[in-house]
Structure 1
């Protein structure tokens, strides 16, 4: 590209707009930056539209000179109109006529804009959004103008991506905390403890556990793992958790509950995959009715008997089955003095430890003891001082031998 002024001038003008010197500086708010861009570039409007991948829309989130775009929630499809064309081409676009033949947003020609420049906001190969500026006067955007706006778009893409990640993380943490049991139910003749640790570097994900009372003094026990991490996985986890609880009130058979959950996921949650272990403990705590949807089996140990994996068929995961698979329920006896451990694969699987070896280690570790002590000992031995790359969830139940 042939520049009208030397490259240092680009940086000077960008610094005037963003209000910082160099990468270590502190950027102001997006609206404030857009207002400065209008002054430095000599334009009348500047707008940022964020790309929403699921719907393939651009949504106005910040503006200067044409704030109505934000207030009215302007949305443009990728590939449609001016901003949509910028997003689809992923290259700067200049138009010198603003009317219904060149743009889909009537606010632009109602504002009296005559010339517009749009630039894609990119983070590597990812389309973050579109930045466009406009003038009510007929003008020529020079190669210098285009380069400055392009650099500004790169800066705003980084700011917006950082803000989005931070907001998603905060929302995910709040959602996860609201969905995981703050306090396990107190059940006469039964003790329980649990642990949940998010995967290192991946943020909170879709692992969840749940214990809830059911009619007839029964207890529902859930351990689930939605594929993926971040806010999307946590939202899906929340929907599956709520649906499972609702089905559990209507159906006594765990296999039937998971069948309904699978049908719901296939119909409403396209592309979702989750493994779930769901068990119902009877009123006397003598038998656990268990159904597995692709989930790892619990480990059970009783006084005088070695620990072992529950022998139960692993039916297809939720959301991954075709048609209506036959789901099965296995009856697991729980004699007095029995401990049962439910867990997700983050506890037993590592890059340097196959899942089978991790399950064998868990089996060797589990013993009849207080569930809190069991959780602490298992986590210390299997997680230790190294952060887990995946989410870890663990629930330990004890049916005491005596009163």
Structure 2
């Protein structure tokens, strides 16, 4: 039983209503009428795309799609971030799907098959075997036509229309609805990307304090700059005091960019703080954090440095999860890369062993922690960037150290990747 449209444009209905490439002219609109509807749709979408929010744009285009195809309902379902479920996003005449939060597994039911196959599907007669959403049956929908929403060769959702009376959808109907879906997909993807970018900025700014806490005996400063090429990503820094009197410092980088990376970063940062309350051993903290990521963030990966300074401030104990080594400097001496042994990144391999390295921190000495956006360049070896960074670090006020590092390493160029920097100096 085949209810999909084949590559030649033929549509077969599941209830055996017959071939739709030989339509009854009384039931189907002719080509001239389809062309006229398409011209009207072009004018509507051109105007709408320039001024409407994504929610308003979807509502407007769904109303127009219903009118153009003489349907009773129209709805958009978008794939979620996991790519395994469709969720009702907007509807006209079928609002209960949105209000009830209807979700459809990929490959299941009418909409699920459209998304899984990436091809149009027509259902001549709805029953309990060919649709998944109970809202469709509750609304008395009899016939359905659905098409995939595709951008960049990837299905991002499904647009479909339905009628309460039996309907044979023609090849021109399929073509017209596909054009509507293409326009909705382009507009939706562009707006979602902008919304995700704004949300990622807001989330990351809320998680990264503009100033580190005041801690007696330590001079601290931080910098964060989003990359122009990838936008906001998963870079973070953190400084906090612990009940034991120790000070915890962290810097890390979640693989990827955008809202997803920022969300994962927020979860990792919060979890690290929670584990830091339970133990002053940096390796133990990162081991627990890695276990959490393996269990609850499948597919996520991050590099991180977590350091603990005891109340006496005379040393720093560091555990390194695949991150770049900090730079150490003393008054009157050039900076140098520390020999902090890197273990595997977080999320890379279950039960990866983790160790610690102790670094001295005499009065006047300091450290610079950073993420790879500061030193990586597409046209040079990483070792060149690391050597250059070590050469520009000079002990002074932490704010001055950050300023010097950013100025020297960026050369007034816009960074292509996220950059997070944390500088500290022991003052007493």
TM-score (norm 1): 0.93
Q: Distance in 1 between matches of 2:51 and 2:213?
A: 50
Does the aligned pair in 2 maintain the 1:345–1:355 contact within 8 Å?
no
Which residue number corresponds to residue 191 of structure 1? Answer: 219
Q: Is the 8 A contact 2:231 2:417 kept in 1?
A: no
The equivalent residue for 1:321 is 349
**For the aligned residues, what is the CA RMSD?**
2.1
1:247-278 residue CA offsets vs partner (Å, 9 max, x unmatched): 11111111111111112222222222111111
Q: Does 1:20 align with 2:37?
A: no
Q: Give the structure 1 partner of residue 410 of structure 2.
A: 383
- 1:201 and 2:266 matched: no
Contact 1:4–1:142, Cα closer than 8 Å, also in 2: no
Q: Tell me, yes or no, if structure 1 residue 5 matches structure 2 residue 31.
A: yes
1:387–1:62 distance in 2 versus 1, CA, 3 Å: same
Which residue of 2 is the match for residue 369 of structure 1?
Answer: 396
Q: What 5-or-longer segments of structure 1 have no aligned partner?
A: none
Superposed, 1:17-56 pairs within 5 Å as 18-20=44-46, 29-54=57-82, 56=84
Secondary structure class of the residue paired with 1:48? strand
Structure 2 vs 1, CA of residues 53 and 209 (structure 1 numbering), >3 Å: closer, same or farther? closer
- SS of equivalent to 2:334: strand
In structure 2, how many angstroms separate the alpha carbons of the residues matched to 1:63 and 1:247? Answer: 44
- Write the mapping of 1:1-400 to structure 2, written as runs, cut at 5 A: 4-6=30-32, 8-9=35-36, 11-15=38-42, 18-20=44-46, 29-54=57-82, 56-325=84-353, 327-400=354-427
User: What's the offset of the Cα at 1:8?
Assistant: 4.6
What is the distance in 2 between the residues matched to 1:217 and 1:53? Answer: 41
Instruction: For 2:253 and 2:121, locate their aligned partners in 1 and report how far apart those are by CA, in whole Å.
Output: 45
Paired residues in the alignment total 399
CA 1:53 to 1:334, structure 2 compared with 1: closer, same or farther past 3 Å?
Answer: closer
Q: Structure 2: any 5+ residue segments left out of the alignment? A: 1-8, 10-20, 22-28
Structure 1 residues 292 and 149, CA gap change in structure 2 (3 angstroms)? same
Go from structure 1 to structure 2 and tell me whether the alpha carbon gap of 1:77 and 1:58 turns closer, same or farther (over 3 Å shift).
same
Deviations 1:332-367 (A, max 9, x none): 111122121111111011111221111111111011
Q: CA–CA distance in 2 between the matches of 1:19 and 1:241?
A: 42
